Amino acid sequence: MRTKLLGVAALVVTLAAAGCAAPEAAPQAAPASDAAQATPQGPVKLTYWTWAPNMDKIVAVWNQEHPDIQVTVSKQAGGDDAAAKFLTAAKAGNPPDLVQAEYQHLPSFIAADAVADLKAAAGAAQPEFSEGVWGQVTLGTAAVYAIPQDSGPMMLFYRKDLFEKYGIAVPKTWQEYAEAARKVRKQDPDVFLGTFSSKDPGAFTGLAQQAGARWWAIEGEAWRVNVADEPTTRVADFWGGLVKEGVIDGMPYFTPEWNKALNDGKLLTWPSAIWAPGALSSNAPKAKGKWAAAPLPQWRAGENHSGFWGGSSVAVAASSKHQAAAARFAVWLNTDPKAVELLVKEAAIYPASAKGQQALTEAPDYFSTQPDFWQQAATVAAGARGFTFGPNVGVTYNAFKDSFDKAVQARSSFSDAVRAMQETTVADMRKSGFQIAP
């Protein structure tokens, strides 16, 4: 891939976004494609940085069955700090052989030449995954930079009992969602159908993906940046209009006020990801059994699109001496039926592999009244759209929080906030030395 010339800039951007000191030079990695085709010679030892719980138990199964390739797990904190730590280690020449990589951070790893192209060793795994999730590890190129592990397709979670109370049908389009929001407010001024959170750019990103947004793309030697594209502006204007009208709240997610509103039945929906049952069971225990899940409302009746909020992959370090062995382990971990079952049971993840999703049968305890929960989730996941993330997602996400905080408070234009995200993202990339397509 031709982002090597951008490696220094990407590394600076990523670490700056994470609040860490910038490095002095880009890492020197071996050509990934050549190394990835190497055949493992005899027993090898691999290190694997991950924050997934109980990964050591899953790896123990691999180690028992594969004495020639032994993997050691190193538990990490996750998030931006884990990404910065990996890039620092890559620059210093001592990264782990394998690393758990959030989809949003993978482009910065690639631009820094810190991860290998696994196409030769693992490209055959593509049929195991949906087009949307696979695209997040290829960035729209012919290369394969990681193996998808978990994903966060978005659905609409709603209070089934209160929908019945207020005479609301589950909205199939966003227009119906807006009408339902107005209907609820007319019946009870203390209740909102939903809220827009200016603190959670990942949620907004997923909704923009559902609408068909394409924030970044690689064109030759340059990045095309279009955060303020038509689908994103449409999503922003929709939510901004509802907030300005006063029929949707501006309360951020994961706050004490949000928890109380969920518990007390003052907030009836949450457009969220497949991991929502865990969050709801912790934040709204009183409402157990009262929530249900449905596909996200669509922009056009009859469509079946969703987006992703969260998810991660397993990448192989470009400087690993055992790339083929590492790729073999990464494919096993995320496609082998026994391994995927363990990922669900021990690590409590929603697997990215389609077969793993279809194997889930018993609904989450919090949603025990909806026996087809996982079947609905698998259908939604198959239609989820991802997009190529850029190398400075942290900057873009911070711009989201800054601009949307102000817009929610002032009930001003959300599309102006999106344009602020675009301008901030492009300015940061230019400053860091990236080439921007006109």
One-letter amino acid of 404: F
Rounded-to-integer distance, Cα 23 and Cα 297, Å: 44
Q: Say what the pTM is.
A: 0.88
- How far apart CA 70 and CA 67 sit, in angstroms, is 6
The one-digit pLDDT tens for each residue of the chain (438 residues) are: 444 434 434 443 443 343 333 333 333 333 344 444 445 456 899 999 999 999 999 999 999 999 999 999 999 988 888 999 999 999 999 999 999 999 999 999 998 999 999 999 999 999 999 999 999 999 989 999 999 999 999 999 999 999 999 999 999 999 999 999 999 999 999 999 999 999 999 999 999 999 999 999 988 889 999 999 999 999 999 999 999 999 999 999 999 999 999 999 999 999 999 999 999 999 999 999 999 999 999 999 999 999 999 999 999 999 999 999 999 999 999 999 999 999 999 998 999 999 899 889 899 999 999 999 999 999 999 999 989 999 999 999 999 999 999 999 999 999 999 999 999 999 999 999 999 998
Question: Can you tell me the distance from the alpha carbon of 189 to that of 177, in angstroms, rounded to the nearest whole number?
Answer: 17
Q: For position 42, what pLDDT does the model report?
A: 63
